[in-house]
Amino acid sequence: MIRQEIIENIKVRAGKDMLDLNDRSDKRVYVTIKKETLTKIVRYLFNDVKARFSIASGVDTRNAIEILYHFSVDEIGLMVSVRVILEKPKPEVESLTSIMKCAEWIEMEIHELLGVDFKGHPNPKHLLLKDDWPEGNYPLRRDQ
Amino acid sequence: MARNIIPIGPYHPLQEEPEFFRLHVDGETVVDMDIEIGYNHRAIEKISESKSYDQVTFLIERICGICSTSHPFAYTNAIDDLLGVQVPERALYIRTIIGELERIHSHLLWLGLAGHFLGYNTVWMWAWRYREPILDIFERISGNRNHYAMFKPGGVRRDLDEADFPWIKKTLKGLLPKFDMFKGAVMDDPVIRARTEGVGVLTKKDVHDYACVGPTARASGVAIDVRRDDPYAAYDRVDWKVITADGGGVFAKAVVRILELYESTNIVLQCLDKMPKGPIDLNIKDMPVGEGIGRHEAPRGEVFHYIMSDGGNSPARHKVRAPSYMNIFSNKKAVIGETVSDATIILAAVDPCYCCTERMAVVDCKTGKKLMDGQDLIRLSQEKTERLRNTRTIL
């Protein structure tokens, strides 16, 4: 599947939920979408394009938590990073584990480090931090 | 038969990655598994936010003791991506040489461990013996056998001396017959084949579902390799091929790694011949606001680094994802349905820097009584090989 086709398909599927598209270079594309349309876009990338889920990364931008889901389209070496912005004080987003099993660990990690609630996660436990880590204390938050 | 739980892990002083596996077994068969990680969580991503970009290379080099260059490689790729700069040609070749030499010694290390788990201790001794010349090369180049500190944003820290090239080439070429020996010892041995083929299989669909990377994916016939797919360093300037195998079991993973030894040697030799003269560093002074993604095909698979810069001296966010993060999770699929005696080698087959075996123990979950420990489990695995070996002799 060619690069332009993937970008166009994301645009069509996201519609007016598409907030930004940064076609940064041949191999890197960043799209920012509303969180309501996340599962639709991920389903397209993971199931239809058969892109490999590389990882997700979260960052605290003070007003909100941003999560970037990085997908690698290995046939053309393209990295598509899907960004969602989750408003504080209660950042939450749909869990992607029902679409991709491989998202289970990283969602656990982002939950414990940044305090994002992944709705529908099958195993909402600690991954890296110990089990008795104080509730509500998130190491990568900048407001604590 | 009663369902028992076998805890494996978490600590072993020889390895840098403690993990904990809880195998639920029904008789001989593994029916379920829980994985716990985090015993070695060092908050590197957080520490990175307080270091300068230059210091971060040293910090992340210490994430892994075996493939210590993998993280600096991906990190410097991320910085190059953020800046949108072209690193000097000579530096690209030096980076490639370091990356590939590291793959050779890492694969030999795994091969040795796999041999030990299966009761082939000669393979173990040989593999680690022939890993030494590679470490000697590193010592000559960088002064260190490991943690070479060669990488920096915008280039490399040290130049290679042309006077060393003949010796490096001779050492590498001298290893090729040894690789032939390993190839013969593993690929032509009917017992190893019987013992590992079709064990711990991951299908192409599993590879996609669990997002496996590196030899773990390539052994299932999924031809992914960042070096080819998203070229960086000098990988698009030399001839080499992506090694894949069919079958998806432990045997296929061993085959992929052994054949990759030849490709890596080939890449290093070509780089030494083609390397141009010139500067090795861009001397980057400022970091603009922006974000960058860097990837490197480490011995175990794709390493992923994401850097977000706010224009300051330190990364505003630095996300690190090692290949084992994805591959260890796939054990959930690979181990279930297999026997306890095969669990050791399956868990080791993704090469997770895992050797917590001395802490393995079989415990009866009703009485809490310890039935077997790590030594017993390795013995179990070695005995199974011995049984197969004897059967073959009789036939």
pLDDT digits (tens, 9 = 90+) for A121-141: 998 888 888 888 898 899 999
Rounded-to-integer distance, Cα B333 and Cα B178, Å: 34
Nearest to A77 among B38, B230, B329 (CB): B230
Instruction: Give domain B3-40+332-394's CATH architecture.
Output: 2-Layer Sandwich (3.30)
Determine whether the interchain pair A102/B81 forms a contact, defined as Cβ–Cβ distance below 8 Å.
Answer: no
Position B373 scores a pLDDT of 62
Confidence of residue B394 (pLDDT cuts 50, 70, 90): low
Q: Which of B139, B143, B148 is nearest to B73 (CA)?
A: B148
Position B339 scores a pLDDT of 87
Taking residues A16-40, what's their average pLDDT?
Answer: 95
Rounded-to-integer distance, Cα B390 and Cα B190, Å: 12
Rounded-to-integer distance, Cα B388 and Cα B120, Å: 13
Q: Are B263 and B257 in contact (CB under 8 A)?
A: no
Where are the domains positioned within chain B? Answer: 3-40+332-394, 44-326
Determine whether the interchain pair B329/A25 forms a contact, defined as Cβ–Cβ distance below 8 Å.
Answer: no
Position B364 scores a pLDDT of 47
Where are the domains positioned within chain A? Answer: 3-119
Determine whether the interchain pair B37/A50 forms a contact, defined as Cβ–Cβ distance below 8 Å.
Answer: no
Rounded-to-integer distance, Cα B83 and Cα B91, Å: 17
Residue A139 with chain B: CB contacts under 8 Å = 43, 46
Determine whether the interchain pair A102/B45 forms a contact, defined as Cβ–Cβ distance below 8 Å.
Answer: no
What integer best gives the mean pLDDT of chain A?
93
Residue B213 reports pLDDT greater than 70: yes
Rounded-to-integer distance, Cα B158 and Cα B394, Å: 58
What is residue A29's three-state secondary structure?
Answer: strand
Determine whether the interchain pair A30/B45 forms a contact, defined as Cβ–Cβ distance below 8 Å.
Answer: no
Smallest CA–CA distance from A130 into chain B, residue: B38
- B147-199 residue pLDDT tens: 999 999 999 999 999 999 999 999 999 999 999 999 998 888 888 888 888 88
Determine whether the interchain pair A140/B209 forms a contact, defined as Cβ–Cβ distance below 8 Å.
Answer: no
Position A52 scores a pLDDT of 96
Confidence of residue A46 (pLDDT cuts 50, 70, 90): very high
Nearest to B329 among A50, A105, A126 (CB): A105
Rg (C-alpha) for chain A, rounded Å, is: 15
Taking residues B368-377, what's their average pLDDT?
Answer: 61
Position B337 scores a pLDDT of 86
Residue B329 with chain A: CB contacts under 8 Å = 102, 104-105
What DSSP letter does each residue of B65-81 carry, written as one string?
SSSTTHHHHHHHHHHHH
Residue B291 with chain A: CB contacts under 8 Å = 30
Position A135 scores a pLDDT of 87
Cα distance from A76 to chain B (closest Cα, Å)? 6
What integer best gives the mean pLDDT of chain B?
87
The ipTM value here is 0.95
Position B186 scores a pLDDT of 86
Confidence of residue B40 (pLDDT cuts 50, 70, 90): confident
pTM of the predicted protein model: 0.90
- CA geometry: angle at B183 spanning B179 and B184, to 5°? 120
The residue behind tokens 């470490």 is B135
Cα distance from B346 to chain A (closest Cα, Å)? 19
- Fold exhibited by the domain B44-326: Cytochrome-c3 Hydrogenase; chain B (1.10.645)
Smallest CA–CA distance from B34 into chain A, residue: A123
Position B280 scores a pLDDT of 95
Give the distance, in angstroms, between the CA of residue B293 and the centroid of all CA atoms in the same chain: 21
Q: Are B71 and B61 in contact (CB under 8 A)?
A: yes
Q: How far is CA A83 from CA A35, A70, B291, B305, B308, in A?
A: 9, 9, 13, 16, 13
Cα distance from B337 to chain A (closest Cα, Å)? 19
Homologous superfamily (CATH) for A3-119: NADH:ubiquinone oxidoreductase Nqo5 subunit (3.30.460.80)
Position B360 scores a pLDDT of 39
Interface mutation vs chain A, best among B40, B304, B306, most A CBs within 10 Å: B306
Position B315 scores a pLDDT of 95
- Does residue B301 or residue B358 have the better pLDDT? B301
Residue B134 reports pLDDT greater than 70: yes
